[in-house]
Structure 1
Amino acid sequence: MWDDFDDEPDFEEDGEFDYRKEQERIFKHPLMKKSKEIIGLTRALVGSLDEARRELYGNIMMEDAAIMSAKFSAAENIPDYITKMENAVLMKLHAKSLNSMTYQLALEETHAEEHLELLRVAIEDFRKLFLSWITTFDSDKKSDDGWGMFMD
């Protein structure tokens, strides 16, 4: 059981976990880079909303964008399949919510369609990266958390 860690590159020779190396690996991942891009695009859109719409939509949109990157980081930091899947589901839900908000803003004619399309394209790119990423999950590495989800 413990010899599984012998091949882990994030552990130094003395058995200490290298947090900086792990953090660097996560921040360099294409999915994290794309999520940071989405945060920037969302911030720009929210920043250009009038006060009423910013109050109505701004927090939701920024929360959606931020959770996408936070849940990716959480999923990448743990080998457990169930936890990875839970975080992946939340990432998907928030990406879909943020994408839906672009159509609400379009209906209200708050932005030029080109600006909203930039965020939609970034979310679509995120989705494609996400699909590749979830194939890397090892379903053999799971422990029953008592809730019965993703247990096969």
Structure 2
Amino acid sequence: MWDNFDDDDYDEDDEAEFQRERDEKKKHPLWIKSRDIFELTLALVGSLDEARSELYGSLMMESAAVLGAKFSGAHAVDSYVIKMENAVIMKVHARSLGSLIFQLSLEETHAEEHLQLLRDALDEFKILFREWVKGFDSADRYDDGWGLFV
């Protein structure tokens, strides 16, 4: 497999482009907000009692982690269909996280101020998300056989 690797194929311009795209992604407000949500969720999950941590913790962390991961996936491609697929997954996980916060609020086990911090971050994420999705170029649509976003 590696026998065909040729050191002469290395292109410093490709490396520079990769670095530029990575830096651009890390400066994007939606990426920054997704990292904030992850950190807030991590702190909240860390403060859950054992039973609630077992019940909600992994779901909350998964949803928080998916926001940034799917943003990265969408940011890395030009395909409208793939961007939209990632955007839908982000929306579903943001709403799931919001529902879990609501459930914790109903159980009255956490200070409402702590839960509100995460709610506020999700509200900010939603605003940034809507602006981000408006920037997708729908001219790059294609039928991938699933019938969505075409």
TM-score, reference length from structure 2: 0.89
Aligned counterparts, 1:97-116, within 5 A? 97-116=96-115
Give yes or no for the alignment of 1:34 onto 2:24: no
* Count of matched residue positions in the alignment of Structure 1 and Structure 2: 140
Question: Secondary structure at 2:140's aligned position in 1?
Answer: coil
1:142 offset after TM fit, Å?
Answer: 2.1
User: Which consecutive unaligned segments of at least 5 residues does structure 1 have?
Assistant: 1-11
Distance 2:106 2:134 in 1: 36
Task: Return closer, same or farther for 1:15/1:115 CA change in 2, 3 Å cut-off.
Answer: closer
1:83-142 CA distance string (max 9 Å, x none):
000000000010001011111001111210010000000000000000000010000112
Task: Return closer, same or farther for 1:59/1:14 CA change in 2, 3 Å cut-off.
Answer: closer
Distance 1:55 1:48 in 2: 12
Percent identity for Structure 1 against Structure 2: 57
* Aligned CA-pair RMSD: 1.6
Tell me what 2:126 maps to.
Answer: 127
TM-score, reference length from structure 1: 0.88
After the TM superposition, list the runs of 4 or more consecutive aligned residues in structure 1 that deviate by more than 4 angstroms. 12-17
Give yes or no for the alignment of 1:136 onto 2:139: no
Distance 1:134 1:43 in 2: 27
Distance 1:28 1:80 in 2: 21
